[in-house]
Structure 1
Amino acid sequence: MSDGDWFAPKRFGYGAGLPIAWQGWAILIGYLAILFGLERMIRAQHPAVFVTLVLIVTGALIVVAARHTRGGWRWRWRWWSED
């Protein structure tokens, strides 16, 4: 694992799997906390604002995970890892 790898690649499909470093776990827990906080604060009063903020936060998580996934994001055809 290099210093920049926070997430493992998915074994099949495209994208990142589970975190493999404390930074990845911190990002994931922070993401879930933000979603929970947004839901508790503004979902009922302003659904459009809620959806917009969820899309922004999710986009940020995707960007961070894509930059810090071991081997990058690419399609993986096999269920076993060759990386």
Structure 2
Amino acid sequence: MSKNDKDIWFPAMKYGSGWGLPVTWQGWIVFLSYIVLAIIGVLFIKRSPWLVIPFIIYIFVLTGMLLFICWKKGEKSELRWGKKL
């Protein structure tokens, strides 16, 4: 691990690439905010079906922001397959 445990909000996945569920309260706030904002976007799309393209752009931007935060506050993401020997 290259960062202190206190600095890591999102640990790397044990298998595969990417990050797992948050391990700090800050990470949980970010993760739950992402979920709530996505649900709000879905509620708007239900009211106006012609907002499909703006909704897709909204989700892409929202996901990009989440990935950026995971990249900055998470462990180094690399392809892993269990524990290192």
SS in 2 for 1:16: coil
Structure having the higher Rg: 2
1:8 aligns with 2:17: no
Where does the alignment leave 5 or more consecutive residues of structure 2 unmatched? none
Q: Which stretches in structure 1 are left out of the alignment for 5+ residues?
A: none
- Counterpart residue identity of residue 11, structure 1: K
The alignment's TM-score, normalised by the length of structure 2, stands at 0.84
CA RMSD of aligned residues (A): 1.5
The number of residues matched between the two structures is: 79
Q: How many Å separate the matches in 1 of 2:69 and 2:77?
A: 12
Query: Which of the two has greater helix per residue?
Result: 2
Partner of 2:36: 33
- Corresponding letter in the other structure for 1:76: R
Tell me whether 1:73 sits opposite 2:68 in the alignment.
no
The TM-score, its normalising length taken from structure 1, stands at: 0.85
The percentage of aligned residue pairs carrying the same residue is 24
